[in-house]
Amino acid sequence: MTIRNAEPVDRLVAALLAEPDEQRVTAMLVELDAVADAVWWVEDRDYAAVALQEAAGRARSPQRRTTLLRHALSRAMTYAAGATSGGEGLARSLHVEEIRSMPNT
């Protein structure tokens, strides 16, 4: 099922920031992937990767920041790998490099 509303992704990302239990965070990231994969998105950046990247700047701990950025990087790399043209691939790989260059990735 494809959805055009990214609000479920935003809700999960907000919950990830508030969740105190690291084991629960791991399960929530799996849930995020399932929800985010259903979001219809036509940009050259994966929506969930962008949301996680932005949320990492608001993380309460360096460990949570790292967790969010690493997951954002993983999603961005997967999104880049699915590019169907040179320009699209370049744009998507620029996002990968942007996340890689962030501290605590």
- For residue 62, what are the CA distances in angstroms to 56, 58, 67, 72? 9, 10, 9, 15
Give CA angle at 87 (1, 98), nearest 5°.
Answer: 80
Taking the C-alpha atoms of residue 84 and residue 18, their distance in angstroms, rounded to an integer, is 37
**Higher-confidence residue: 41 or 56?**
56
Q: Is the pTM of this model over 0.75?
A: yes
In this prediction, residue 5 carries a pLDDT of: 84
In this prediction, residue 60 carries a pLDDT of: 93
Place 51 in a pLDDT band, splitting at 50, 70 and 90.
very high
Query: Distance between alpha carbon 69 and the CA centroid of its chain, in Å?
Result: 8
In this prediction, residue 72 carries a pLDDT of: 97
Taking the C-alpha atoms of residue 26 and residue 21, their distance in angstroms, rounded to an integer, is 9
Place 48 in a pLDDT band, splitting at 50, 70 and 90.
very high
Q: What is the mean pLDDT of residues 58-66?
A: 96
